[in-house]
Amino acid sequence: MGTGKRGLITAAVTVVCAVTVLAAPGTAFAAPTPKPTATAPSTASPTPTDSPTLPPNKDLEAVRKKLDKLYHDAAVATDEYNAAQEKAQKQSAAIVELAKKIVEGQKKLAELKDRAGAAARAQYRTGGLPPTAQLMLSDDPQQFLDGAGRVLQGQRATKGLIGEMTRTQQDLQRYAADASDRWDELEANRRTKAAAKKKIKQQIAAAEKLQSQLEKKEKERLAELEREAAYRSQTAWLDSGILKEINGKASEQGKQAVEFATAQIGKPYVWGAEGPESYDCSGLTSQAWAKAGRPIPRTSQEQWKQLKHVDIKDMRPGDLIIYFDDATHVAMYVGDGAIIHAPRPGRTVTLAGAGEMPILGVVRPDA
């Protein structure tokens, strides 16, 4: 094996120590602020936010909408962060497995070389003559016949040993190449995570700066406007008569997921968090269903892509409601038109109306 391949193998084995650092989760997050109008937000790619300033005359409704956008942009970046984190964990596990195979392959190759060396030493002890030549010098016919069989067996064994050594070397080369590719993927995801993390912090900092410019009474009025907008959206949703059509009963696993989510009420929202002390939106739903014995994708966008879609009238407790056109928020339906979700930075896991945000659709983890 060339020095280049040996270097790859060494690097792959070293990866076992390195992957823990590269794949370690950062702090946490994931969810946009409820956008209380019936119109879904634009799906255009968000652009970096300039330093936020208050609208003229402190138009608090405009402030509310601007905060919605900042937190929504943060949620988009959070889904990117969570997706990169999930991929990095899988890639790290794959690299560790490849490194183990390389170590085992190196051990096997060393054993094969020892066997080849033992055969060479045995030949040296017989004066260096090959078995065929020794056989031709024998005067004993029976010894000749017995020896002929042993020579044939020895030739087959030698051929098998060489073949096994060749295959083992090829396996090691393939494992090393795979480990190198996985390492490159892991590095790419690390960069994606870092970029998403930076963007999340920028959006949250901009929102906090905007809010810091408000006086106490203005903050109270802003909170009131948010509640009024959520109430209007929920009322409009209920007035559609949809609740009369929703009468599904939770499955056993659905009940367990709802119980878990309910027990998390009051815990803070932190981007990238999966519990047990804090959660982001998809961290809460994925952990709830994991506890119910049904692992699901980590991000709201992948939950929307991979889980079975069900009609909203067939919704039952435990199902997940995906919000916004870009699927950047998720909540758990718990019945009677209500959800449990982790809303956004600065908030806690809470009970809310299912219609307070624009619904993209419903998915069922245990379909």
Whether residue 341 lies in the annotated active site: yes
Alpha-carbon gap, residue 248 to 263, rounded angstroms:
22
Strand 329-335 relative to strand 350-353, pairing: unpaired
Question: What backbone phi and psi angles, to 5 degrees, belong to 52?
Answer: -70, 140
Q: Which residue type sits at 130? A: P
- Could you tell me the strand order of the sheet in which 320-323 lies? 308-310, 359-364, 320-323, 329-335, 338-341, 350-353
Secondary structure (3-state) at 218: helix
226 vs 214: CA distance, rounded Å: 15
φ, ψ dihedrals at 298, nearest 5°: -75, -35
Q: Which of 87, 338, 331, 325 has the alpha carbon at shortest distance from 234? A: 338
Angle between helices 252-263 and 281-291 (to 10 degrees): 130
Query: 3-class DSSP state for residue 334?
Result: strand
How many other C-beta atoms can be found within 10 angstroms of the C-beta atom of residue 32?
A: 27
Return d(Cα 217, Cα 224) in angstroms, integer.
11
CA angle 121, 122, 125 (to 5 degrees): 90
Q: Which residues contact 241 (CB under 8 A, 6 or more apart)?
A: none
State the catalytic residues. Answer: 281, 329, 341
